[in-house]
Amino acid sequence: MIKLPLSAALILETRLITKAQRGAHDQNQAKYNEQEMASSQEYLLYVLDLLRLVPGITYKKMMGEYLLYKDGVLFGGVYDDRFLVKKKESIASYGFAEVIPYPSAKPMYLVDLENPSSIAEALEKMFID
Question: Looking at the predicted structure, is the pLDDT value of residue 123 above 60?
Answer: yes
pLDDT tens per residue, range 81-94: 999 999 999 999 99
Mean pLDDT of 64-93: 97
Query: Residue 42, exposed/middle/buried by CB under 10 A (0-12, 13-18, 19+)?
Result: exposed
pLDDT tens per residue, range 107-117: 999 999 999 99
Q: Where are the domains of the chain?
A: 1-35, 41-128
pLDDT score for 126: 94
Superfamily of domain 41-128: YgaC/TfoX-N like chaperone (3.30.1460.30)
Cα separation, 99 vs 109, in Å, equals 6
Question: Looking at the predicted structure, is the pLDDT value of residue 50 above 50?
Answer: yes
Query: Residue 52, exposed/middle/buried by CB under 10 A (0-12, 13-18, 19+)?
Result: exposed
Q: What are phi and psi of 90, to 5 degrees?
A: -65, -20
Question: Looking at the predicted structure, is the pLDDT value of residue 1 above 90?
Answer: no
